[in-house]
């Protein structure tokens, strides 16, 4: 029988081999410095996911079920009249002009891009300059960009944000509420919504763009409609 350590390493190796060019797998091994050799972070696949709207979470990351806790009723895949509120998560970086407290992920009346990422993910790092340029291109009153990470080590996220000179909000999804709601079990996952909250990506809300030109080609027509 292999040791616990050996089993952990084999699991991490299997996850790494399963990762395609599109991004990083949701099951990873990471340490407090984000290097990838500590505790396991798993984006769950149970319960209801919803990339079409603000539906529900089914079973939450903390094991609870039923109402999502933000006013949306569990069990809906379509984001219908059962919704009574928007999901907000705590800000992970509060320095400079970045917000303190909770950040609404999909505010009313604004085109929104949700960027699910981790600090150890190579493709996530590569798209950071493009996201920064995209943020600078549009007024915040028309375009909302927020990054979402399951990582709970605030110092690691702060260091990453400083390294890439990021200028938009980043929130911690420690209970995986947003991760599960939108089935964001690989990184990066980028989801685009129009100002009415409707999916506006290439596959529902999901978009495959990784460059500024790719992002801008999708965002610009939506902002111009306002």
Give residue 155's pLDDT: 96
Phi, psi torsion values for 9, nearest 5 degrees: -65, -40
Give residue 137's pLDDT: 97
Strand partners, 171: 91, 148
Give residue 96's pLDDT: 87
Those residues of the chain that have pLDDT short of 50 are 1-2, 4-21, 27-42, 44-49, 51-85
Domain boundaries, the chain: 4-224
Give residue 226's pLDDT: 66
Give residue 54's pLDDT: 44
CATH topology for 4-224? Glutaredoxin (3.40.30)
Give residue 86's pLDDT: 82
Comparing C-alpha atoms, which of 186, 156, 152, 147 is closest to residue 44?
Answer: 186
Angle at 58 between CA 55 and CA 59, to 5 degrees: 145
Alpha-carbon span 178 to 57, nearest angstrom: 8
Angle at 90 between CA 162 and CA 54, to 5 degrees: 115
Give residue 21's pLDDT: 42
Give residue 26's pLDDT: 63
Beta strands in the chain (DSSP E): 24-25, 28-30, 39-41, 88-90, 102-104, 111-116, 143-149, 170-172, 186-187, 189-193, 206-207
């Amino acid at each position: 029988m292999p040791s616990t350590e050996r089993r952990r390493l084999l699991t991490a190796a299997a996850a790494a081999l399963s990762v395609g060019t599109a991004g990083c797998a949701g099951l990873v091994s990471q340490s407090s410095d984000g290097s990838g050799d500590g505790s396991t972070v798993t984006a769950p696949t149970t319960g209801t996911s919803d990339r079409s709207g603000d539906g529900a979470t089914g079973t939450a990351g903390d094991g609870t079920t039923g109402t999502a806790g933000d006013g949306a009723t569990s069990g809906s895949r379509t984001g219908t009249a059962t919704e009574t509120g928007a999901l907000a998560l705590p800000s992970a970086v509060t320095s400079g002009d970045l917000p303190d407290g909770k950040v609404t992920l999909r505010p009313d009346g604004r085109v929104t891009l949700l960027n699910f990422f981790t600090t150890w993910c190579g493709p996530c790092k590569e798209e950071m300059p493009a996201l920064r340029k995209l943020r600078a291109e549009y007024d915040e009153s028309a375009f909302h960009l927020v990054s979402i990470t399951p990582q709970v080590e605030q110092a690691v996220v702060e260091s990453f944000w400083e390294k890439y000179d990021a200028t938009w909000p980043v929130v911690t999804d420690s209970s995986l509420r947003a991760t599960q709601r939108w089935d964001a079990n690989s990184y990066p996952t980028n989801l685009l919504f129009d100002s009415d909250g409707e999916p506006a990506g290439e596959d529902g809300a999901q978009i495959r763009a990784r460059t500024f030109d790719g992002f801008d080609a999708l965002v610009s027509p939506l902002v111009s409609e306002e």
